[in-house]
Amino acid sequence: MIRHLLGAIVILALVTGPTLVAGAGDSVGTKLDDAAITTKVKAKLTTDSVKNLVKVHVETKEGVVHLAGAVPSEADKAEAERLARGTDGVKDVMNNLTVSSPSASPSTK
């Protein structure tokens, strides 16, 4: 009796297991892809040629890169988006970067 029950459990696991694993694999695979994209974008933003972009926050969800933070100029904002869009695996870029205004110098009277 126990032997038949164990056999049934094994058969059930063999039949439903691949379906469950495939569903979980897609989710895990997507997360791994997103993490890889984030890493690639961050690496591009921190190269010597774009030092102004080191503090940009990068997050990727389902291939869509979200950029956040403040950059010194509109050119830096555009460059961050260009670099992100040029990264393998990126489906779209949501550029939520703000341009920080230069510090106001104290006025003298």
Per-residue model confidence as pLDDT tens digits over 2-57 = 665 555 566 656 555 554 444 454 477 788 899 999 999 999 998 856 667 888 99
Domains and CATH numbers, the chain: 2-99 (3.30.300)
Does this model's pTM top 0.75? My answer is no
CA dist., res. 56 & res. 50, Å (int): 11
Residue 82 CA to chain centroid, in angstroms?
Answer: 15
| Length reported for the chain | 109
Q: Of residues 15 and 84, which shows the higher confidence score?
A: 84
